[in-house]
Amino acid sequence: MQPKQNNRQESSGFKEKLSWLWSDYSVIIAFLIIFIAASFMSPRFLDLNNQMNILMQVSIIGIIALGMTVVMLSGGIDLSVGSVLALVGVIAVIALNATGSIIAAVLTAFIVGSFAGLLNGLMVAKGRIASFIATLGMMAAARSIALYIANGGSISGEVSGFSAIANSEFFMIDYPIIIFIIMTVFVYLLMHKTRFGRYVYAIGSNEKAAMLSGIRVDRVKIGVYSLTGLLVSVAATIETSRLNSISSSSSGASYELDAIAAVIIGGTRMTGGRGKIIGTFFGVLILGILNNMMNLMNVSPHLQGFVKGLIIIIAVVFQKRE
Amino acid sequence: MSNEWIVQMKNIEKSFNRVPVLKKVSLQVDKGEIHALLGENGAGKSTLMNILGGIHQADAGSIAIDGEEVTMTTPKVSQELGISFIHQELNVVGDLRIYENMFLGSELRNKFGFVKEDEMCRQTEDILAKLGVTLNPRGYVRDLDTSYKQLIEISRALLHRSRLIIMDEPTTALAEHEVERLFNFMAKLRETGVSIIYISHKLKEIEAICDRYTVLRDGEWVGTGSLEGTELDQITNMMVGRSVSEERFVQDHAFGETVLEVKDLSCEGAFSPVNFSVRKGQVIGFTGLEGDGRTELIETLFGYRKKSTGSIKINGKSVKIKHPKHALKAGLGLVPKDRKENAIIKDLNVIHNLTLSSMGHFEKTGFIQEKREKSRFSFYRDKLNIKLHNPTVTIDKLSGGNQQKVVIAKWLEVGPDVLIFDNPTQGIDVGAKREVYQHIIDLAKEGKAIIILSSEAPEIMKVCHYIHVMYQGEITAGINGEDATEDLIMSYATGSKREVGEGGKYRNAAKAKQ
C-alpha cells in the first residue's frame, strides 16, 4: 500500500508557462545576451564579413553537432566523429585522385561515413555495448586506419574542381554555411516531423516502454548512428575541400568535444529524450561567437579552452535548475 | 526483564494524506518466537513494520521494548534497540567480500585507522558458525546463492546484537531447496532466543516455520493466535474477510470464435508450460501472488522475453512473435504494469504518447500530420473521458488514472484483437478504477478478447468470465468467474491447494526439465 502523494491535476498557471518558455528557449535568450554583449565589446564584431566568418567557422562542427544531437537524444553518445571525419577525408581524397571524379569522391565519403556509423549502431544496438565504449573503440580504430593509409601525413587532392565545394559563394554566402543550414532544416524535419524522430525521442526517454509500444529499438538505434556517420561524411567533405587536403593525424582532432559541448549548451539532456535541434543550432553559434570574440580581443589561444569549459559548465548548471 | 515478550505495539494508528492506513493495531511478539504477520496487499503490514523499524512515525499508539516504552524516531534508533529489518530487496553489496558486507559502516579499525581484517574475519566466522554454516569470510557475496545472501543480512543483524528480526517476504526470490535452508537458519536463530516477525503470503511456509500469527485486514487487527491447532482455511478467511460481496461488473454474453490460443508456452526460470485460450468478447484473468510468473508469461507472449517452448495461434493462424512489434502486427496489445517504467514516455506530450504505436495512421508522404493526431486525441478524450486542459503538456503531468486512459487509448488506436491489461488499476484512485474496468468491459462487448492480470482477487472476480490462478510459474487452477470466491482463489494462489488434473501435469513437466 503506497500513499498517493502526487495526485495533482495538471495546471496551466502563469508560472508554469514562464518556466516552459525558459526551458524551451533559454539557449536563444543566452545567444541574444552573448550576441549583444559581443557587439558592445568589439566594434568589428558586427561587421558582415566577421559574421560570415563565424558561420563559416562553425559550419563543420555544426553539421557534426546535428548528428551528435540525434545520438544524444536517443540516450547515447558518439566519440568517434572526429576520427571518422579524418578517415572519410583520407579515403575520399584517394578516391578522388584515383578516379578524377568529384562525384565519385563525395559518394565514397558518404559510403565510408555511413558505414562507420552503421558499425557503431550495430555494436550499440545488437552487441549491447555501451555507446561510450563502442564509439571510443571506433575513435581509436578509425584514426589508426587513417594514419596507416596516409602513412601518418597529409594527402592532397589532385583534381582542380574539388576545392570549389567549400570555397564558392552563393550571393556572398559561402557554400559550407548553406550546407549547414540545409542540414539543420533536414535534421529538424526528420526529428520533429517524422516517425523516426518521434521514435528517437521515445527511446531516449524510456527504452523499455518504447519497445513495449512495438518500436524496433535496435533498428532505430542503428539508423541513428548511421545518420550521424553520414553527417560526419558531409562535414569531412567540406573539411577536405576547404584546404584541398586532409591530415590523417590532426584533422578532426577533438571535434567530438566541440560537438558535444554545442549539444549540451543547446539544452539537450545527456541521458536522452529531451532536447531540440534548434537548440543545438544556437549552441553551435554561441561557441562560434565566443571563439571569435576571444580572437578579436587577443585572448591567448591557450586560454580559449578554459573559457569554453567554463561556458559548458555554466550552461549545464542552468539547465539543472529547470 | 521478566517479561515474556520482547516487543509490544499498542493501538498504533497511521494515516497518509488523511487516508487511514492503520486503525488501532496491536502486535505482541514473544521472546524466541517466529511470529507471522499476515494480510492481503494493502492490509497495512508494511506500514506497521516500517513504524517498528523507525522509517515512519505512528500518529498514535505506543511501542514498548523489554517493558520500556520507546519512541522510534529514525531507523538508527530502532536498530540500536535491537531491531533489524531485512527487506524484500536484499541490502548486500555483491562486489564486496562477506566480512566487508558484515561490517559495512561499522568497520573495526586499529589506532592508525587501518581496518582490522583478521579480527573482522574471525568474528564473521563465529557468527556464521552459530547459524551452522562455514563460509570463507573473504569470499565475494556475488558468488553466493540468494539464501546465503539473506544469511549475510541475518548475520549482520546478529553482529549488531539484534533481538528481533523483521523479514519481509524473504522467500519470494528463493528456490525450494533454498527456502528449506532459510528455515533451518531461522530455527537456529529461535533457539538462541532471537525473535522473528515473518511477513509472507504463503500459508504453507507459515505453517511450516511460524509459532504464532497476527492477521491484519484493511488496516485493522483481525486476530492473533497460535498456529498449532489452527486450520489454514480459517486464516484465509480472516485475511479475506466476509464482507466483500460486491456486484460483478461483467455480464454474460455469447462469445465469438477463439482468437488467441496458447500452447505449452514456457520461459525457463520464469514459468512452466501453460495452455490457455481466449474467445471474442471474453474476459479472462490471471491472478496469483508475488512471484507467480504471470507478468513474465505475458511478456513472453508479447515477445519481450524469449520463449523456451510453445506455440501461439491468433485467429487460427500460427504466429511467430520475437519482438513486441511482431505481437502488435499479429493483433495483440499490451497495457503493461508499472506504468512509469513500462508504459508512458514521460518526455513526450500526451498526444505523442497516444499515437506512438500507430504512427502509420498519421503519416502522409513520410511526414506526421499533427492535425490528424489532434483530432484522434479529441476522439479518445471524449470516448474514455480523459480529463486535461492541454494535450501538449508532457504526460507525467497527468494523474495516474488519466495516464492509464491515454495508454489504453494508444492501444485502441492500434486496434488489436486481443488486449492484455497487466495490473490496470495500479496507483489510480477508486473512481478511476471503476471507470477503467467499465471501459474494459465495454471493449469486450464490442468483441475484443481481453486478458487481465491482477494480484487483487476481488477485482479479477468482478470483471472476468474465467480466471486462471497461478502459483510459482504454474497455472494451479482455472475457475469460472461466477464460481470464484476469494477463499478459493487464495487457496490456489498460496499453493495450499491445487487442481489435481492440470496442476499435476504441469508440475511433472517442470520437474522433468530440471
Contacts of A8 in chain B (CB under 8 A): 399
CB contact under 8 A, A3 and B17: yes
CATH superfamily ID and name for B5-240: P-loop containing nucleotide triphosphate hydrolases (3.40.50.300)
Nearest 5 degrees, angle CA B159-CA B161-CA B167? 85
Q: Which domain holds residue A90?
A: 54-158+170-321
Mean pLDDT to the nearest integer, A222-241: 96
Euclidean distance between CA atoms A155 and A162, whole angstroms:
14
Who among B323, B366, B388 is closest to A194 (CB)? B366
Q: Which three cell numbers stand for residue B493?
A: 494462489
Whether A41 is covered by a domain: the verdict is no
Q: What one-character DSSP code corresponds to residue B4?
A: S
Reduce the secondary structure of chain A to three states and give it as a string.
CCCCCCCCCCCCCHHHHHHHHHHHHHHHHHHHHHHHHHHHHCHHHHCHHHHHHHHHHHHHHHHHHHHHHHHHHCCCCCCCHHHHHHHHHHHHHHHHHHHCCHHHHHHHHHHHHHHHHHHHHHHHHCCCCCHHHHHHHHHHHHHHHHHHHCCCCEEECCCHHHHHHHHCEECCEEHHHHHHHHHHHHHHHHHHHCHHHHHHHHHHHCHHHHHHCCCCHHHHHHHHHHHHHHHHHHHHHHHHHHHCEEECCCCCCCHHHHHHHHHHHCCCCCCCCCCCHHHHHHHHHHHHHHHHHHHHCCCCHHHHHHHHHHHHHHHHHHHHHC
Euclidean distance between CA atoms B147 and B145, whole angstroms:
5
pLDDT mean values, one per 10 residues, chain B (514 residues): 78 81 90 89 82 90 89 87 85 90 87 89 89 87 85 87 88 75 87 90 83 88 87 80 58 84 91 92 89 90 93 93 94 91 92 94 92 94 88 86 92 94 79 82 91 86 90 88 83 75 41 36
Instruction: Judge whether A266 and A258 are in contact, CB under 8 Å.
Output: no
Euclidean distance between CA atoms B353 and B394, whole angstroms:
9
Q: Does domain B249-331+417-514 have CATH number 3.40.50.300?
A: yes
Nearest 5 degrees, angle CA A183-CA A186-CA A187? 85
Identify the top-confidence range among A53-62, A292-301, B380-389: A53-62
Interface test with A, best of B17, B298, B345, B357 (most A CBs within 10 A): B345
Nearest 5 degrees, angle CA B34-CA B40-CA B44? 75
Does residue A4 sit at the B interface (CB-CB below 8 Å)?
yes
Whether A97 is covered by a domain: the verdict is yes
Interface test with A, best of B356, B373, B389 (most A CBs within 10 A): B356
Say how many residues make up chain A. Answer: 322
Does residue A101 sit at the B interface (CB-CB below 8 Å)?
no
Strand, coil or helix: B450: strand
Q: Say what the pLDDT of residue A186 is.
A: 97
Contacts of B41 in chain A (CB under 8 A): 1
Question: pLDDT at residue A2 above 60?
Answer: no
Question: pLDDT at residue A19 above 90?
Answer: no
Q: Say what the pLDDT of residue A8 is.
A: 41
CB contact under 8 A, A202 and B19: no
Instruction: Judge whether B423 and B454 are in contact, CB under 8 Å.
Output: yes
Mean pLDDT to the nearest integer, A279-288: 93
Euclidean distance between CA atoms B391 and B171, whole angstroms:
44
Q: Say what the pLDDT of residue A14 is.
A: 62
Question: pLDDT at residue A5 above 80?
Answer: no
Who among A2, A201, A214 is closest to B325 (CB)? A214
Q: Say what the pLDDT of residue B497 is.
A: 73
Confidence of residue A24 (pLDDT cuts 50, 70, 90): low
Q: Which three cell numbers stand for residue A20?
A: 516552459
Closest Cα in chain A to B18 = A3
Whether A287 is covered by a domain: the verdict is yes
Number of separate domains in chain A: 1
Q: Say what the pLDDT of residue B239 is.
A: 80
CB contact under 8 A, B343 and A209: yes
Higher pLDDT, A320 or A77: A77
Instruction: Judge whether B387 and B402 are in contact, CB under 8 Å.
Output: yes
Who among A194, A205, A206 is closest to B368 (CB)? A194
Mean pLDDT to the nearest integer, A53-69: 95
Q: What one-character DSSP code corresponds to residue B428?
A: -
Euclidean distance between CA atoms A169 and A166, whole angstroms:
9
Contacts of B348 in chain A (CB under 8 A): 198, 201-202, 205
Q: Say what the pLDDT of residue A15 is.
A: 61
B5-240 against B249-331+417-514: fold identical: yes
Contacts of A202 in chain B (CB under 8 A): 345, 348, 356
Question: pLDDT at residue A17 above 50?
Answer: yes
- How far A109 CA sits from the closest chain B CA (Å)? 27
Q: Say what the pLDDT of residue A229 is.
A: 97
Whether A242 is covered by a domain: the verdict is yes
Closest Cα in chain B to A5 = B17
**Domain residue limits, chain B:** 5-240, 249-331+417-514, 338-415
Furthest-apart CA pair in chain B: how many Å? Answer: 84
> Position B476: which residue type?
T
Tens digits of per-residue pLDDT, A303-313?
888 888 888 88
Half-sphere exposure of A195 (CA within 13 A, CB side): 18
Does residue A270 sit at the B interface (CB-CB below 8 Å)?
no
Report which of A184, A215, A222 is spatially closest to residue A198, judged by C-alpha positions.
A215
Whether A302 is covered by a domain: the verdict is yes
Instruction: Judge whether A123 and A129 are in contact, CB under 8 Å.
Output: yes
Mean pLDDT to the nearest integer, A146-161: 90
Q: Say what the pLDDT of residue B498 is.
A: 72
Please state, for a pLDDT cut of 90, what percent of chain A lies above it. Answer: 62
Contacts of A208 in chain B (CB under 8 A): 341-342
Who among A3, A4, A202 is closest to B348 (CB)? A202
Half-sphere exposure of A218 (CA within 13 A, CB side): 11
Instruction: Judge whether B324 and A217 are in contact, CB under 8 Å.
Output: no
CB contact under 8 A, A10 and B388: yes
Q: Say what the pLDDT of residue A3 is.
A: 43
Q: Say what the pLDDT of residue B387 is.
A: 85
Whether A9 is covered by a domain: the verdict is no
Q: Say what the pLDDT of residue A320 is.
A: 63
Q: Say what the pLDDT of residue B42 is.
A: 66
- How far B345 CA sits from the closest chain A CA (Å)? 6
Confidence of residue A230 (pLDDT cuts 50, 70, 90): very high
